[in-house]
A and B are shown apart, each in its own frame.
Chain A
Amino acid sequence: MLRFLVRRTLGALVILLFISAFTYFLFFAIPHDPALLSCGKNCTPDNIALIHRNLGLDEPIPVQYFHYMVGIFAGRHFSVGDCSAPCFGYSFANSDPVWPTILNRFPLTLSLAAGGIVVFLLVGLGAGMLAAWRRGTFIDKFFSSVSLVLSSMQIYFVGPIVLALLVYNNQIMDQPKYVPISEDPVGWFSGLLIPWCVLSIIFTAGYTRMSRSTMIDQLQEEHVRTARAKGMSSRYVFFRYAWRGSLIPIVTMLGLDIGTLLGGAMITEFTFSLAGIGRLAVDSVLRTDLPMLMGVMLFSAALIVLFNIIVDAAYAFIDPRVRLS
């Protein structure tokens, strides 16, 4: 297990190194001066020279990249000020340090992802298992058709309609907002309830369809039939045999989804005006704020890679046949 973790972590670091190099070179090696991008439409040569000096852009790009990577682990000194250990530089747009800004935005994205995951796991897995259990009946057909329609309900379509109906026109709910859970748990819950539900629609549909089909596959397995033939109750067989067997594909999909969601649910945050990581990314793109974008990119990629490792390690716990080596 330990050897597996060490090896996977090293592999993940190599992947992140490649991603950072790829992103950095494309961001900063485009034929136009990044300082010009950050400077906007009305730019004087003096401003550009200042930005160059402040950000170390007058060095060759490989040297810049080297300084950037060293800065992440050892901190960095800019003429505008010191930047301590995980240093991802300063925003082009408003000179905020990148890493503290990301950390500041992360609790919202974490809350949004956590609530959404709870909703789609409960509803999606529940509906999928019920459909598999009552395969071929009305319940099965109902859940299958509903999940087919729900899987085409995009957040940017449902979100504004839900807002208009529940918030603006009928005042049933408040405008979605984020309050830290430590300050006001009730406000945290009610403020994020609409985003959680809207975010989880498409995921719910996906998990319903997948848990239904894997459960049906599992129920046709030999060991499940043997257990039934031995006289075990169908409920016991359903939960202890078939359910455990169908966990692997579900955990695989869940790991990928968690990694992606934690890196920022852009469309959800944009629709509900929530200032999380996804919103930060969109704003940075619209302002061509390359250092901020670079930081968010690495942060999100690191989360995806991390959850890939967690999923692989989780296989060993779910299925004792899997040997990690």
Chain B
Amino acid sequence: MTSQTQAVVTDADDGSIDPAAQTQGLGKQAGDIVGFSPGQLMWRRFKRDRTGVLSAFVVIFFFAIAILAPVISKLYGKDPYTLYGQNNSDLLNEFGYPVAPNGGVSSSFWFGIEPGLGRDVFTQLLYGIRTSLFISVAVTLATVTTAILLGITSGYLGGRADYFIGRVSDLLLAFPSQLFFVAFMPIVVAIFVDPQDETPTYLRVTALIAVQWFLGWMGLSRILRGQVLSLREREFIEAAKVTGASSWRIVRRELLPNLVTPILVQATFMLPGFVTAEAGLSFLGVGIIEPTPDWGRMFAKGGDIAQNDITYMFFPGIAMVIFIVAFNLLGDSVRDAFDPKSGR
């Protein structure tokens, strides 16, 4: 395996002809020594990692069904809101449970029927994944942006700004995070809506993003601060300063490209955490509420009915296990591809 410091590899084991390799190795025989950028090296290492590629496909699959949920449900012919079980009395028995075995799984209801309301589980899960992934991606983007801003500021400027940001993140780290999410959900909602009115869904989503963002950025910000502290003393930054580059240019052109690795790796590890945290909040009844489909809310429903219809629980549950495992494996592979020395 090649290491990052050695930015030169032979092109022998890779059959494809790289355009960069072609220009570099103009007029020479195949198998010559060719230069690659760190990004190309990372991509070559990643392609060779079978687990990584497989988990990347699984993750892409989940995002694809989240984005395409309306199209899929249109082709499938059902939506997550219609109460099929109540409209058609053959589907649910007098206790509200599916008549057919295994939670009503059949060719027309692929994942069965939700007990009680009689909605379609398949579209519920599709749209639930859509809601959860949307929220988690938004939280990840918000936390990563904040962490980049504050981490680079405190590392590069140092002094008073560094001290202030450091103390604030110390303070936020002492907050009991799960309790904070639960406690501040209604507060954030109440800032915008009178408690006696109905809360619109987009506001609950905004509040969920806000509370998770608020306590989410400290870890990455500290990592970036440490990186910037060591990068700041390197010669190339000094050279840029001597040539009269502005601070903004140094941050943008010299520092940020060197921080892509920790940012990408941490973001891949953060996202599944946000998915499970959001699902936990909806499970407790303070996140997304009826009738909006949500991954976590399906667990709350599944818990209520597990005694009589255990099948329902397995669809959101196994989907989540696959998603989290794939994402964690992807995170490991991305880390190994960027930094092969870190090892497992």
Q: Quick one: which of A130-172 are within 8 Å of B by CB?
A: 148-149, 151-154, 156-157, 159-161, 163-165, 168-169
Cβ of A262 to closest chain B Cβ, rounded Å: 10
A195 at the interface (CB under 8 A from B): no
Residue of B nearest to A31 (CB): B191
CB–CB A19/B279 < 8 A = no
CB–CB B307/A169 < 8 A = yes
CB–CB B187/A164 < 8 A = no
A305 to B171: give the CA distance in the assembly, Å.
10
Cβ contacts under 8 Å, A267 to chain B: 178, 280, 283-284
**Would you list 20 pairs from A and B whose C-beta atoms are within 8 A, ordered by A residue?**
A19-B174, A32-B194, A37-B195, A151-B324, A156-B279, A156-B280, A156-B283, A157-B321, A159-B303, A160-B306, A160-B313, A169-B307, A267-B178, A281-B179, A288-B186, A296-B183, A297-B179, A301-B175, A301-B176, A304-B175
Q: Quick one: which of A241-270 are within 8 Å of B by CB?
A: 260, 263-264, 266-267, 270
A106 at the interface (CB under 8 A from B): no
Picked from B191, B286, B303, B328, the residue with its CB within 8 Å of the CB of A271 is B303
CB–CB A161/B306 < 8 A = yes
Given known contacts A266-B178, A267-B284, is B313 in contact with A281 (CB within 8 Å)? Answer: no
A292 to B321: give the CA distance in the assembly, Å.
35
Query: A264-289 interface mask toward B, CB cutoff 8 Å, 1 = contact, 0 = none?
Result: 10110011000000100110111010
Given known contacts A15-B171, A26-B184, is B283 in contact with A270 (CB within 8 Å)? Answer: yes
DSSP majority for the B interface? helix
Query: A282-325 interface mask toward B, CB cutoff 8 Å, 1 = contact, 0 = none?
Result: 10111010000100110011001100100000000000000000
B166 at the interface (CB under 8 A from A): no
A148 to B331: give the CA distance in the assembly, Å.
12
Task: For the complex, count residues of A whose C-beta is within 8 A of B.
Answer: 52
A18 at the interface (CB under 8 A from B): yes
Given known contacts A15-B171, A160-B306, A297-B183, is B285 in contact with A286 (CB within 8 Å)? Answer: yes
- Max chain B Cβ within 10 angstroms of own Cβ: one of A156, A278, A288: A156
CB–CB A152/B321 < 8 A = yes
Cβ of A9 to closest chain B Cβ, rounded Å: 14
Cβ of A70 to closest chain B Cβ, rounded Å: 22
B18 at the interface (CB under 8 A from A): no
Cβ of A170 to closest chain B Cβ, rounded Å: 11
Given known contacts A157-B317, A266-B178, A266-B284, is B183 in contact with A15 (CB within 8 Å)? Answer: no
A27 at the interface (CB under 8 A from B): yes
Cβ of A157 to closest chain B Cβ, rounded Å: 4
Residue of B nearest to A305 (CB): B174
Query: A166-187 interface mask toward B, CB cutoff 8 Å, 1 = contact, 0 = none?
Result: 0011000000000000000000
CB–CB B176/A286 < 8 A = no
Picked from B170, B184, B283, the residue with its CB within 8 Å of the CB of A15 is B170
**A residues engaging B (CB < 8 A)?**
15-16, 18-19, 23, 26-27, 30-32, 36-37, 41, 148-149, 151-154, 156-157, 159-161, 163-165, 168-169, 213, 260, 263-264, 266-267, 270-271, 278, 281-282, 284-286, 288, 293, 296-297, 300-301, 304-305, 308
CB–CB A285/B286 < 8 A = yes
Residue of A nearest to B190 (CB): A30
Picked from A148, A213, A304, the residue with its CB within 8 Å of the CB of B174 is A304
Task: For the complex, count residues of B whose C-beta is within 8 A of A.
Answer: 48
CB–CB B182/A288 < 8 A = no
Given known contacts A154-B279, A160-B306, A163-B306, is B325 in contact with A148 (CB within 8 Å)? Answer: yes
Cβ contacts under 8 Å, B323 to chain A: 152
Cβ contacts under 8 Å, A169 to chain B: 307, 310
CB–CB B191/A30 < 8 A = yes
A151 to B325: give the CA distance in the assembly, Å.
8
CB–CB A153/B174 < 8 A = no
CB–CB A285/B306 < 8 A = no
CB–CB B284/A282 < 8 A = yes
Residue of B nearest to A266 (CB): B178
A164 to B309: give the CA distance in the assembly, Å.
9
Cβ contacts under 8 Å, B179 to chain A: 263-264, 266, 278, 281, 296-297, 300
Cβ contacts under 8 Å, B171 to chain A: 15, 18-19
B146 at the interface (CB under 8 A from A): no
CB–CB A160/B183 < 8 A = no
CB–CB A154/B310 < 8 A = no
B153 at the interface (CB under 8 A from A): no
Picked from A151, A152, A157, the residue with its CB within 8 Å of the CB of B313 is A157
B276 at the interface (CB under 8 A from A): yes
Picked from A27, A36, A154, the residue with its CB within 8 Å of the CB of B280 is A154
Cβ of B230 to closest chain A Cβ, rounded Å: 21
A261 to B272: give the CA distance in the assembly, Å.
21
